[in-house]
Amino acid sequence: MSTRPSKTLETFPNPNPQRDYVIHMQIPEFTCMCPLTGQPDFAHFTLDYIPEERCVELKSLKMYMWAYRDEGAFHEAVTNQIFDDLVGATAPRYLRLTARWYVRGGIFTNVTVEHRAAGWTPPVPVSLPEFAQESALRG
């Protein structure tokens, strides 16, 4: 696998496709360029997804995100492009991508996009009483 920026997202087979589970990733060092001024823009991306048959390979995701460093892009456009590429590569049951853009001109921008596969229903979350959560943490 390359160690240079690339717009190719590699995947691997989901090791547990029989169950819903969340893969949570923090990508705190994203950069691209403002398409109007050429100045750098910085963002913290949060990726949460429930895989179907494919998972995204982490090094390829790192190289993919790096590929935007010298490109001019509006916050909304680049967030949606990354989202489309992730959904296209992995075809997940569910995917949420949130970009938290650092301040520019006194304004913070957050962009969130979601995908739900047709026919997929999220499981009902389990709500534990507060004392049960504390007991579980103590072991």
Write down all domains in the chain, each with its CATH number in brackets: 11-138 (3.30.1130.10)
- Tell me, yes or no, if the pTM score tops 0.85: yes
Q: Is 32 a catalytic residue?
A: no
- The active-site residue, picked from 34, 48, 55, 84, is 34
What pLDDT does residue 128 have?
Answer: 82
Per DSSP (E only), the strands in 1-139 are 11-13, 23-33, 40-50, 54-56, 94-104, 107-116
Q: Is 34 a catalytic residue?
A: yes
- The active-site residue, picked from 41, 48, 55, 85, is 41
95-134 confidence digits (pLDDT tens) = 999 999 998 888 899 999 999 999 999 888 888 887 755 6
Whats the size of the chain, residue-wise? 139
4-53 confidence digits (pLDDT tens) = 889 999 999 999 999 999 999 999 999 999 999 999 999 999 999 999 99
